Structure formats: structure tokens, C-alpha cells
Amino acid sequence: MAAPGSTAAELAERLLAGDKRALARAISLVENDDPEGWALVREVFPHTGRAAVVGFTGPPGAGKSTLIGAIVGHARAREREVAVLSIDPSSPFTHGALLGDRIRLSDHFLDPGVFIRSMASRGSLGGLSEATLQAALLMDAAGKDDVLLETVGVGQAEVDIIDHADTVVLVLMPGSGDSVQALKAGVMEIPDVIVVNKADHPLTDTMVREIRGVLSLGPRTSWRVPIVRTEAARGEGVEELVGRVEEHRAHIEAEGTLEERRRRNLMNEVMELATGRMRRRLADSVREDPAVQQLLDEVVARRLDPASAAARLLERDE
Amino acid sequence: MAAPGSTAAELAERLLAGDKRALARAISLVENDDPEGWALVREVFPHTGRAAVVGFTGPPGAGKSTLIGAIVGHARAREREVAVLSIDPSSPFTHGALLGDRIRLSDHFLDPGVFIRSMASRGSLGGLSEATLQAALLMDAAGKDDVLLETVGVGQAEVDIIDHADTVVLVLMPGSGDSVQALKAGVMEIPDVIVVNKADHPLTDTMVREIRGVLSLGPRTSWRVPIVRTEAARGEGVEELVGRVEEHRAHIEAEGTLEERRRRNLMNEVMELATGRMRRRLADSVREDPAVQQLLDEVVARRLDPASAAARLLERDE
């Protein structure tokens, strides 16, 4: 995939100097599971760990992208360099709503201090969260002060993807009853900051009250999850939100849990990368080997149970 | 875990005869990843494939358990044997709402033709969806006509768990805007049947219209997803829902896709079991081996990148 004459070392050098095109190319390499991409991350990894990484999740339509656009504007006013990584589900329906959101970010497309990238959550060649962390590391190495990760959804799977962040922000809106219930039922872990966006809606107070009620039932921790009202489209509440995110970061830094979080996230990452590779190796052997296909036929015919078939697969693979 | 003198063959025999206690014990064995549990599934697997397996998912609070309770009542009136497997997230908050739901099912606790079981979605020893399928197979082997699987949530992860079902039912309620958006955005695959429960709510028509709008944008398929209104607490609409589920099953049977679905599900299961075992083996080596701990320390110190660490882990493991 590399252009003739370009080496990982050259690309790494340009990336570390903050070259936007080098960063875009590097992310494509890791997204495509290209060995040169891995070599690049290896090269720049010692230069990572400086960016503040913030993850945003929440139901589609809550206005996350508009909010992130406003946060980017706020950061730029303070001359901070920003990178945004959005993970989009590939909808079988119209892409209208999501594209509409993306367009909100386009104010920043021409700003050299802002780097914006989307990844599809299905059909990625490697595992999604592998690619996400690698991309976030590359953004960090490229000297971005803020790395903002965005996922769409209201389940633990979506939180897991942005779990590499130092701070996790859940973005809701009036009417996000399902999400509040998911939080209450434990379908989703408690985030660090909760936003109620579209706060000009008459049901905002009700929503804030519901969230407060759920949080009050939760375990007591040293960090009290703030609920911030925003109207992202008008920039309302964005300054407060940025302040809360910074407070959270200062809190976990002071407490020593930032190091702990990053240690845990890196360890999880190593495990995920290792299991992802094993899974792909296994999937290849299944695809290519007629003997394995025969094994699966036996399972479908209910002559061989799935666990025994799995055990035989593993024996073959060793 | 086996009682003295009891063997897998004896337990299998009792299970195949429909003994409720044998079934309960068998499920505990697979849930605890006990080798005897796997032996048991191996033994009874040729007797599976007869039950109609229906999966239910949807946001917490939509009334899934009440609905399932009503469906169980309906099945019992037709003298069908039923098993219910509920996957509960372990909430850090009060378990109130979920327990409340469970209690609705208690009408059937004393009926020998009904078997009800819950599993926690976190902290299960094996993988969750592994244990779920094994338990569903055991229920099938025990002669249940209907096996109903239930998960709580509004994301693809929850749909994946019940993907072993022949028919997937999404249960919403008026106000489930986040879930409709998740469907539209492709966060969640299109189910086979959609229920709007609590249909006595004044916003029911709006909700049905929204769902219809989203579905009309989707790909055309040979099966048109029906939207059924229910008031589970009063039993309203349950007969229609059961009819729709049966129609769906007849449709995929006639079309030949039931076989296809089951083949795909069994193949996925074999792959999941195999990767789950690899993952556990790897996790054990990480926990027990000081050299691996040292490797991870290098990553945390940013001297070794995660992908290289993963590659070294895999070399050690081979």
C-alpha cells in the first residue's frame, strides 16, 4: 500500500512532525491491517501518551457530532490541535441522518489544526476496537492535544470501543428514556460525564431529574458524575462541558487513576490484538480447508456437537 | 460438580426424558464451564433441533418479561412445553425493575411444563453467548416445544446473543425513540417481528408510524416485518404476536432459510467456542506468567507497542 520509496521510518517522521496527510495515510494502513501500519505504530508509540483522549457515546440523533463540532471550535479558540475519530455503523437504511451530522463538522475541514476521520463499524478488516486504538495512538503521536472518539449506540459494546479514553461522556437528549433505562439496568457502564443536549426542549428538566434519580441509586465513588445541559447547535453549555471534562481529568490525575486506566486499557488492547489475530488465523483455516468444512457439516447434521467441533478445530490449528 | 454416582450418561437420560431438575443441573454445569456439562451436550446434541427458538430483545422497561409470561400462558393453553432463558445484565444500581419483571413470570414457576432460568450477562465464566447456546440446546433436548431467549438492551451485542433463535422479536414501547434511532442508524440489525408494547399509551400511534417510516426505507426482502401492538399486562395482542412469529417460522421454512440460519448459527457457535477457549488459555498464561507481566509493563512504559506485545504473547503461547 505504501507509495514507492516511502518507508515506515519516513512516514513516521512526517507524522511526528504533524503532517496531516501522513496521519491520514497511517490510519488507512492500520485500518487495512497493513504490516506497514503496524510498523508505523511501533515506531511512533514512544511518542504517545500526551493527548487528552475523550470518548463520546449516546443514541443516534442526540446531536453528538454537532456537540463535538462545538467542542472543536472551543479548543481551536484556545489554539489546541484536535483530532476526531467517529465510528459509524453502516446503516442498511438511508445514511441521511448520519451524513447530516458529519456535515456539521465540515466547518473545521479546512482548518489545518483539525483532523477528522470516520471509520465504519462493520466490515472493518481487523477488529474495530483494535483499529480505533491504533488510530487514536497515531493521532496522539501526530501531536494532537485533544483526541475525541465518537461511537453511536446505547449499549456496553459502544462504551467498550471508547473505553480507551481518559474520560467517557454519554450524550443524551430529552426523550432518551431507553438510554436512561439501559444505564439503570446495567446494560451500560456509568460514564464520567453526562450531557443532556437539545436542552431547549420542554422535557429537559424531566430528563435531568430521571438521570439524577438513577445516579443517586448508584455506588458512591470519589467522582460525582456531573449532568451538563447543552444546546450544541447554538454553542450553549459547551464551555461548561469542556470545564467538566477537564475537571474529571484533573481528578483522575490527582487520584492516580489516570495511570491505572491507561494501564488497564493498554493491557486490554494487547489481549484484544492477540485474540483478534488468533480469530483471523482460525477463520482463514476454516475458509480454506475442506476438512474443516466437513467438520462443520457434521455439526449441522447434529452428529457432532459444537464444542467437540471447536476442540478439533483447535487441535488442527496447533 | 456432579453428585457422587451420577454420570453424564445418567443425567443425559433424565434430561432427555424431560426431567426438570436434570435440566437445571445440566445448565449449571455448562454455565460453570464444567467438563461434565460439555460431555452432556455432546451426548444429547443429536436430539436437538426440534424446538422453535424465539429470541426477544429491547430496552429495559419495555415489558419483555411480562410479554413472555403472556406468551408462555398462551403456549400452555395449547399444551406446548416451554423453556425461558433470560440474560440479565448485573446492574450496579437497584435490581428492582428487573426483579419486578421476573416476578411476572412467577405465575408459571409451579407449572411442570414450564422451565425458567436466568443468567447474569457479566461475570459468567465462559463466554456469555457460548453458555446461552449450550443452555438453549439442553432445553431443546429436554423436549421443550418452545425455547424463548430474552436479552435486555438496544444494541447489536444484545441481538447477537439471541441470534441463535429462529425468529428475533424486538420489543419496544411508546417513547422508545432511542431504539428506533438505533435501528435506523444500523446500530442494530432489523428484527423479524417488532412489538409495540404498552399500546394503551397515547403515543402508540406515533411510535408505530415512526417504526413504519424506518422500515419503509430499508432493503426489500421476501419477509415484511410486522409491527404488533400488545398490552402484555392484560394479554392484549399476544395471540396476534404468537401468530406472527409462527408465520415467520413457516415463511423461513418454506423459503429454505431456516436451515440456512441454523447452519450459520451453528458455524458461528463453533467459531465462538474455539476463540473463547483460545482467549481463556491466553488469559491464564497472562495471569500466571511473570514474564508476560513484564511484557505488559514495557507497554505501559511506552517502550513496546501493543501489537508487538501481542505478537510476542502469541509466540510464547505456541
Considering the domain architecture, whether residues A17 and A93 belong to the same structural domain is answered as: no
Region A127-151: mean pLDDT is 89
Region A63-74: mean pLDDT is 93
pLDDT of the residue at B104: 59
Sheet holding A193-196, edge to edge: A114-120, A82-88, A146-151, A52-57, A167-172, A193-196, A227-229
As a whole number of angstroms, the distance between CA A111 and CA A84 comes to: 13
> A254 vs chain B: nearest CA distance in angstroms?
19
Report CB contact under 8 Å: A270, B310.
yes
Contact B59/A181 with Cβ under 8 angstroms? yes
User: Which of B178, B272, B292, B304 to mutate to test binding with chain A, by most A CBs within 10 Å of its CB?
Assistant: B178
Pick A157's closest partner by Cβ from B45, B157, B279: B157
pTM metric for this prediction: 0.86
- CA dihedral (B10, B11, B13, B18) in degrees, to 10, reads 150
User: Where are the extended beta strands (E) located within B105-219?
Assistant: 114-120, 146-151, 167-172, 193-196
Considering the domain architecture, whether residues A277 and A234 belong to the same structural domain is answered as: no
A34 in any annotated domain: yes
Q: pLDDT per position in chain B (318 positions), as tens? A: 445 446 778 999 999 999 999 999 999 998 888 889 989 999 999 999 999 999 999 998 899 989 999 999 999 999 999 999 988 776 555 444 444 445 556 677 778 899 998 887 654 444 566 788 889 999 999 999 999 999 887 776 777 777 789 999 999 999 898 999 888 888 788 899 999 999 999 999 999 999 999 999 888 889 999 999 999 999 999 999 999 999 999 999 999 999 888 888 888 888 888 888 888 888 887 788 888 888 889 999 999 999 999 999 888 765
pLDDT of the residue at A97: 40
Report CB contact under 8 Å: B300, A262.
yes
The upper half-sphere exposure of residue B99, i.e. CA atoms within 13 Å in the direction of its Cβ, equals: 5
B66 in any annotated domain: yes
Assign A1 a pLDDT band (cuts: 50, 70, 90).
very low
Assign A124 a pLDDT band (cuts: 50, 70, 90).
very low
Cβ of residue B314 closer than 8 Å to a chain A Cβ:
yes
pLDDT at A90 over 90: no
Considering the domain architecture, whether residues B39 and B55 belong to the same structural domain is answered as: no
Model ipTM value: 0.82
As a whole number of angstroms, the distance between CA B36 and CA B15 comes to: 14
B295 in any annotated domain: yes
Share above pLDDT 90 across residues of chain A, in percent, rounded to a whole number: 51
CATH of residue B80 = 3.40.50.300
Give helix then strand counts, H and E, for chain A.
13, 7
Domain span holding position B298:
269-317
> B142 vs chain A: nearest CA distance in angstroms?
16
Considering the domain architecture, whether residues A26 and A115 belong to the same structural domain is answered as: no
Assign A317 a pLDDT band (cuts: 50, 70, 90).
low
Tell me the pLDDT tens digit for each residue of A263-314.
888 888 888 888 888 888 888 877 888 888 888 899 999 999 999 999 998 8
Considering the domain architecture, whether residues A242 and A161 belong to the same structural domain is answered as: yes
Chain B residue whose CA is closest to A184: B93
Considering the domain architecture, whether residues B34 and B55 belong to the same structural domain is answered as: no
Considering the domain architecture, whether residues B150 and B246 belong to the same structural domain is answered as: yes
As a whole number of angstroms, the distance between CA A258 and CA B12 comes to: 51
Pick B263's closest partner by Cβ from A181, A300, A311: A300
pLDDT of the residue at A249: 95
The DSSP code for B236 is B
> A114 vs chain B: nearest CA distance in angstroms?
25
Cβ of residue A35 closer than 8 Å to a chain B Cβ:
no
B260 in any annotated domain: no
Chain B residue whose CA is closest to A46: B302
Considering the domain architecture, whether residues B157 and B113 belong to the same structural domain is answered as: yes
Among A214, A230, A255, where does a domain finish? A255
Cβ of residue B306 closer than 8 Å to a chain A Cβ:
yes
Considering the domain architecture, whether residues A80 and A67 belong to the same structural domain is answered as: yes
Considering the domain architecture, whether residues A13 and A154 belong to the same structural domain is answered as: no
Considering the domain architecture, whether residues B290 and B237 belong to the same structural domain is answered as: no
pLDDT of the residue at B102: 55
In terms of residues, how long is chain A?
318
Interface of A with B in 110-139 (CB under 8 A): 122, 133-134, 137
Region A165-186: mean pLDDT is 90
Considering its fold, how many domains does chain B have in total?
A: 3
Pick B184's closest partner by Cβ from A60, A270, A304: A60
pLDDT of the residue at A106: 67
Region A195-220: mean pLDDT is 93
A260 in any annotated domain: no
Element (H, E) at A204: helix A204-217
B16 in any annotated domain: yes
Kindly list the residues from chain B whose CB atom is less than 8 angstroms away from the CB atom of residue A33. Answer: none
Assign A91 a pLDDT band (cuts: 50, 70, 90).
low
Tell me the pLDDT tens digit for each residue of A242-252.
999 999 999 99
As a whole number of angstroms, the distance between CA A261 and CA A137 comes to: 15
Element (H, E) at B68: helix B64-77
A264 in any annotated domain: no
Q: Which residue has the higher pLDDT, B4 or A86?
A: A86
A263 in any annotated domain: no
Contact B53/B164 with Cβ under 8 angstroms? yes
Interface of A with B in 61-100 (CB under 8 A): 61, 89-94, 97-98
Cell numbers that stand for B270 in this block: 463453533
Considering the domain architecture, whether residues B52 and B42 belong to the same structural domain is answered as: no
Chain B residue whose CA is closest to A99: B185
